Chain A
């Protein structure tokens, strides 16, 4: 297995750190501290729920924003700075470059999320004064958020292979929003009497990345156990979906004339 994607990934991660993208952690820390202090005053009896909901929502939101806005510039920036030409002049395949870029941004998101998780755990401990076994669902919820980031990063990278950063942002955001509402799109087919609409709705449901699968925030807040089958199914789903997008991105990028 080639080490080239790994080298590209590490450089992408370093570049992200140099660009101070991890500064969002300061805002997250302030948010969690403020929430931990204020939560007792406004949400009697459900302080833990508020901290978990707020923390996981912030982790998800910050990560999605990072995945989209950094992801759409990954290829475009390299072309604009002309660094891509010198890179591809070396024995580097285009798919290796894409996989490396994807892994690099995902690594950035994992590090960012890990640090946010520490902040969430601290706020949770401040409020509840203890950790319980049922808090494990929070870890699963964070893992699912990371799977979500992987798909969004791959989507942003895919669009950045053939489109401008602005359009790529719109496309990625559009697919993300549609993916969140995937079950509602399927439900349109259920309530309609038209078999054609039903078939289209079902088709769209299966083609879109179903981000609803990964939403475990409420379950984490309510300390609900998550079946193991859901973990491996979601892992497989995210891996397959990322593979589909990256193969598509490689096909598009390999056919692109960079002259």
Chain B
């Protein structure tokens, strides 16, 4: 190769490479658009047996459990709140995580809440949540918090107040269990279906959990329950208004002017209550609170 060719190759490179790079940037932008059209959110769980994974982990099962736990959080976080979100893999992922590390308490507590939650907030599989928490209790019989979670699933989601009371009572017998476990056992047995009981249960979850997502979910339930109690009271005022004036109020202000509204006219997130058709008070459409559909106002 002649020496004259050397600079020629370098000059060619200096000219051609920038031009080609511009082409590459333009192509990459087109590719970004094309790739964004492909569904990238594909749930995958190739190996569903935690026991097999434990064997394959060659003794690194706690580390693998941590990786799977991270996957649980990512899986849930990427779906929660989406209109048609499904959580089919949440149960298997939590099962694998807790098989790899049976002492990973956060996984049981997370699963108790989010496997049970219906709608777009969870898997709506209270049965799987019960199985998971029972598995946790078998591996960690000294931890009263799992009994608290079991009681919550039975009372809030499965409406089985007898079993819920038994779970709270069983947990209250553990030496470190707080006194309110006994109180919950009694209250759930007597007044399980009342909103005040639900408030008590979620209030204790809110106070005792370390998990931010669980705490947020407990807060949302507490706010919804407060709003439900407020709406119930306003609805009673609306009925009184009808008896007094022979018609339903059309606005909350009318109810207030008649002295039948009480003091609380805003939901716990600060949005004012509004009057719906036939004098039925409602949440502001802008309010982030989601009411429990099981609990009718009237």
Contacts and interface: CB of A to CB of B under 8 A. Distances in A.
Interface of A: 42-44, 46, 49-50, 53, 88, 93-95, 205-207, 210, 212-213, 218-219, 221-222, 224, 226-227, 229-230, 233-234, 236-237, 240-241, 243-244, 247-248, 250-251, 254-255
B28 interface: yes
B1 A94 contact: yes
Nearest to B21: A244
B179 interface: no
Interface stretch (B32-40, B158-166, B234-242): B32-40
Given A240-B27, A241-B24, A255 B6 contact: yes
18 contacts: A46-B46, A49-B44, A94-B9, A205-B28, A218-B42, A218-B44, A219-B38, A222-B42, A229-B30, A229-B34, A230-B31, A230-B35, A230-B38, A237-B28, A240-B20, A254-B1, A255-B6, A255-B9
A233 B21 contact: no
A213 B12 contact: no
Interface stretch (B47-55, B78-86, B204-212): B47-55
B46 A233 contact: no
A244 B39 CA distance: 31
Nearest to A212: B35
B67 interface: no
Contacts of A233: 27, 30-31, 34
Contacts of B49: 42
Interface magnitude class on chain B: 20 to 34
A224 B38 contact: yes
A212 B36 CA distance: 12
B23 to A, nearest CB: 5
Given A218-B42, A227-B34, A233-B34, A250 B13 contact: yes
A5 B48 CA distance: 51
Given A236-B27, A240-B27, A44 B16 contact: no
B58 to A, nearest CB: 17
Interface of B: 1, 5-6, 9-10, 12-14, 16-17, 20-21, 23-25, 27-28, 30-31, 34-35, 37-39, 42, 44, 46-49, 52
A224 B39 contact: yes
B17 to A, nearest CB: 5
A254 B10 contact: yes
Contacts of B9: 94-95, 250-251, 254-255
B17 A50 contact: no
Contacts of A50: 46
Contacts of A93: 1, 5
Contacts of A254: 1, 5-6, 9-10
A94 to B, nearest CB: 5
B20 A244 contact: yes
A43 B46 contact: yes
Main secondary structure of the interface of B (DSSP, over half): helix
Contacts of A221: 44
Contacts of A44: 48
B38 A226 contact: yes
B21 A230 contact: no
A213 B21 contact: no
B17 A247 contact: yes
A43 B47 CA distance: 6
B1 to A, nearest CB: 5
Given A230-B35, A233-B27, A237-B27, 5 more contacts: A93-B5, A244-B17, A248-B13, A254-B10, A255-B6
Contacts of B42: 218, 222
A247 B16 contact: yes
Contacts of A237: 24, 27-28, 31
Interface pairs A-B: 4 shortest CB-CB:
A251-B13, A254-B9, A230-B34, A206-B25
Contacts of B34: 227, 229-230, 233
A248 B15 CA distance: 11
B239 to A, nearest CB: 53
Contacts of A212: 35
Contacts of A205: 28
A227 B27 contact: no
Given A43-B46, A254-B5, A240 B23 contact: yes
A4 B27 CA distance: 31
Contacts of A94: 1, 9
B283 to A, nearest CB: 34
Contact of A255 (B10, B38, B47): B10
B296 to A, nearest CB: 41
